[in-house]
Structure 1
């Protein structure tokens, strides 16, 4: 019996298959080229087992010093004036990690040097390009740090909380500080432990002339190093796979939203044609049951055509399920439509049957009834098209195969569920995309 691949390997194989089957038009490649390039970089890192760990935090909390302490060399610039890091910088960590070919440590700018909107964009970039984030604090949680946590948690990014400069407090003060930080954390992050470190501790030294100077001591980051090594050896490949799955899901959502928006005008024209066909058939046909059967066939064909237009091909069974959901969303496509059509159809048949007895005068009344049936057919067809487009968009928001696998992993693995936390995507503007 062949051995079932481990979860990271299954994720890698699925993503490779999904990427190879991704069909993009020239216009789509032009519009989404940057996002596709970022996704391909993530997939390359998964293939090559190159994991990225980023530090995140305010200016002056010691992010660069912390990374230098882990690296064992002054690779990242530090300055007493703070704010040395203006752009993301990465260095390879020479710490061997089982299962990984390379680990990169990434320094980022301070989050309190930039405006709130730019801060959110920085957090999104960090989350996108890193597999694990270290949020570095040097005191109680500030409002800036609390707000910056939100986009990281929403992205489902695994986090480690690091409390730097622990040499500045007594053991009792440190315990009280950690308790205060945990109370202030968002609910989705309160399960995280704080790891106390001292990246660049200093100690006063009395000189011979009576002056006191501050002397740098060896860094004390062993707890963080052990936590990182243990986490990455146990779950490093899985962290890479989760980030790649999340990146594939984001691209899938962006692609489907773009297709829905780009196809809006064509969908309007398509729905108009089907509405005209349905209205003509209803107005010309005297039998109610044939009206209903023809209307259902017309709506089914419309749904299939919309799926093809949006680049989301479906089989007949899928279209039937979609139509069932549509009828549940709007009673007009169910009992209300049936009742109205039966009533109008019966009235028209009576008027037609009464024509010989009224010297044809009842036919004049039958015409408005037929027009009313045609108007109802137009309305329900347009409603079917809009609801179908909305359902297709909601289906696209579920993320396709990468998103489905991500949700299954979260359901089955409590650790993955904790990492993903309150992961969510920003809601799409449905009204702007609907035909």
Structure 2
């Protein structure tokens, strides 16, 4: 690895792993206090925090049988630590070996995980074990040989959906000398895998020969060293934040199913009281006051019911809805005051019922808008996963 210059680490404005750990700590502390009865929905946050603190980077190899996955890892490691043989499917279960990536005087521990083929004769059990390694992987080496088969294209499509860092290794180039990176790119584009390619998916052409080392193998070594030094922290943080967002949405959905019916029943008296005050109040300015206080109380009760803070990034939308409803309320009251005849009650009651309808409409609109955000879970705190992910995206290299 001495021949590889990993370059200088990315200069994110703050440590991505540290910020992500702070975010997870805030989420866990909040849910332990307010959502302990929904532990099943957010308990995985504990495991994600443990993974953040793991100083070892995880590289998992995937591919079909007889693509040379184990031989490739042996070449990277420098010793035959993974069993290989002339028969198909020598690797029957995942196996991990600790590797030290050395750049100058620095050493970076990496776990290399070999996996069974995705098309093992034994059936789905081996494939499931192989896919299970991707859950904790920081980088995937997808090994192929020759033209991509249907199973390989399907697997790449699944990896595309998981948004994991991916290197594509076209192995056994001594057997497929005419199969180039350009042809691989064209085949993947035709198969609808353009979103992987748009991030400039690294493609390495290698052979089984290790003496002398194939240039493609040396390029792969250097790419892994650069990735470990520069990109690994950001990639791991991003993957964990994405997983935390998914967990929060799962929790928010569960909260919606459990809390919404009860909350709606409790909000009926509030709406009735607010409508009654607006209808019977003869002074237009107080109509606006009662409407505003009722809407603010609605927002407070919904946030308390879900036990999730008000999503401040959406406060502008909520304020716009309130302002529109209150403006309509004022215009109706103003029109009734200036256009009704003295002693006439029909206009007064018509305006009152119209104002009641406006108040009810505003109540429903605010409730729907706020609940749509509360049902996404606790994403919008000071160190919320959505906010951190948006800050981190520009720092993640393709």
Name the structure 2 match of 1:180: 183
Instruction: Report whether the alignment pairs 1:246 with 2:239.
Output: yes
Contact in 2 for aligned 1:286/1:349 (Cα 8 Å): no
Distance 1:225 1:303 in 2: 60
Question: Partner of 1:134: helix, strand, or coil?
Answer: strand
Whichever of the two has the greater Rg, that structure is 1
Q: Judging changes above 3 Å, is the alpha-carbon distance between structure 1 residues 286 and 145 closer, same or farther for their aligned structure 2 residues?
A: farther
Distance 1:168 1:77 in 2: 21
**Gap regions ≥5 residues in structure 1:** 202-216, 356-361, 419-435
Give the one of 20, 33, 41 matched to 1:15. Answer: 20
Contact in 2 for aligned 1:123/1:152 (Cα 8 Å): no
**TM-score normalised over the length of structure 2:** 0.76
Distance 2:332 2:98 in 1: 76
CA shift for structure 1 position 17: 2.6
Distance 2:145 2:301 in 1: 58
Name the structure 2 match of 1:303: 299
Distance 2:56 2:392 in 1: 22
**TM-score normalised over the length of structure 1:** 0.71
Give the one of 61, 65, 72 matched to 1:59. Answer: 65
Distance 2:263 2:126 in 1: 38
| RMSD value, Cα | 3.8
Distance 1:246 1:233 in 2: 19
CA shift for structure 1 position 383: 1.8
Task: Give the total of aligned pairs.
Answer: 371
Give the one of 320, 324, 334 matched to 2:316. Answer: 324
Instruction: Report whether the alignment pairs 1:36 with 2:49.
Output: no
Contact in 1 for aligned 2:117/2:127 (Cα 8 Å): no
Distance 1:120 1:65 in 2: 19
Give the one of 331, 338, 344 matched to 1:342. Answer: 331
How is 1:421-432 mapped onto 2 (pairs within 5 angstroms)?
A: none
Distance 1:123 1:305 in 2: 47
- Give deviations 1:292-350, integer Å, cap 9, x for gaps: 232223223322333343333249xx3xx63531465x6xx555763466336744887
Distance 1:394 1:120 in 2: 33
Distance 1:74 1:59 in 2: 18
**Gap regions ≥5 residues in structure 2:** 1-9
Contact in 1 for aligned 2:145/2:171 (Cα 8 Å): yes
